[in-house]
Amino acid sequence: MAPAASTKTTVQIIQPVSTRRRVIMGITFLVFAAITLLVFLPNTASDLTTSFGLTPGGLKRGAVDNWVVNSQLTLILISIVTVLLGIYQLVRGFGKRTNAILGLVALMFVFAFLTYAAKGKSVNIGGLISSSLSLAVPIILGAYSGILCERSGIINIGIEGMMLMGALVGALVGSVTKSPWVGLLGSIVSGMLLALVLAWLSIKYKINQIITGTVINIFGTGMTSFISAKFMQTNEALNNTPMFTRVPIPLLADIPFIGPILFNNNLFIYGTILVAIVLQVALFSTRWGLRLRAVGEHPKAADTLGINVIKTRYMGTLLGGMVAGFAGGYFTLGSVGRFDEMMSAGKGFIGLAAMIFGNWNPIGAFGAGMLFGFADAFGSKLSILGSVVPPQFMAMLPYIITMIVLAGLIGKGHAPAAEGTPYEKE
> If you average pLDDT over every residue of the chain, what do you get?
88
> Has residue 413 been placed in a domain?
no
Residue span of the structural domain in which 51 resides = 12-120
Residue 296 pLDDT level (bands cut at 50, 70, 90): very high
| 99 part of a folded domain | yes
* Final residue in a domain of this structure, among 120, 148, 179: 120
Q: Are residues 144 and 87 in the same domain?
A: no
- Eight-state DSSP code of residue 39: I
Report how far apart, in Å, the C-alpha atoms of 240 and of each of 178, 191, 237, 325, 394 are: 9, 21, 6, 19, 34
Instruction: Give the residue-averaged pLDDT of 398-423.
Output: 70
* DSSP string covering 263-324: SEE-HHHHHHHHHHHHHHHHHHHSHHHHHHHHHHH-HHHHHHTT--HHHHHHHHHHHHHHHH
Query: Is 7 within a domain?
Result: no
Q: At what angle do helices 347-357 and 159-177 cross, to 10 degrees?
A: 130
104 and 219: one domain?
Answer: no
How sure is the predictor about 4, in pLDDT bands with cuts at 50, 70 and 90? Answer: very low
Q: Is 11 a residue whose pLDDT tops 50?
A: no
Mark whether 100 and 182 lie in a shared domain.
Answer: no
Same domain, residue pair 141 and 111: no
Assess whether 66 and 181 both reside in one domain. no
> Which of the four pLDDT bands, split at 50, 70 and 90, describes residue 388?
low
Compute the average pLDDT of residues 153-165: 96
pLDDT exceeds cutoff 90 at 7: no
User: What pTM was estimated for this model as a whole?
Assistant: 0.88
Mind listing the pLDDT tens digit for each residue in 58-87? 788 888 889 999 999 999 999 999 999 999
pLDDT in tens, 241-290: 999 999 999 999 999 989 999 999 999 999 999 999 999 999 999 999 99
Q: Within a domain: residue 26? A: yes
CATH number at residue 382: 1.10.3470
Q: Mean pLDDT, to the nearest integer, of 114-123?
A: 88
The number of domains in the chain is 2
- The answer to whether residue 416 is domain-embedded is no
The residue type found at 219 is: F
Instruction: Assess whether 318 and 202 both reside in one domain.
Output: yes
Q: Are 138 and 347 in contact (CB under 8 A)?
A: yes
Would you state the pLDDT for residue 410? 53
| Spatial CB neighbours of 34, under 8 Å, sequence gap ≥ 6 | none
Residue 14 pLDDT grade (very low, low, confident, very high; cuts 50, 70, 90): very low
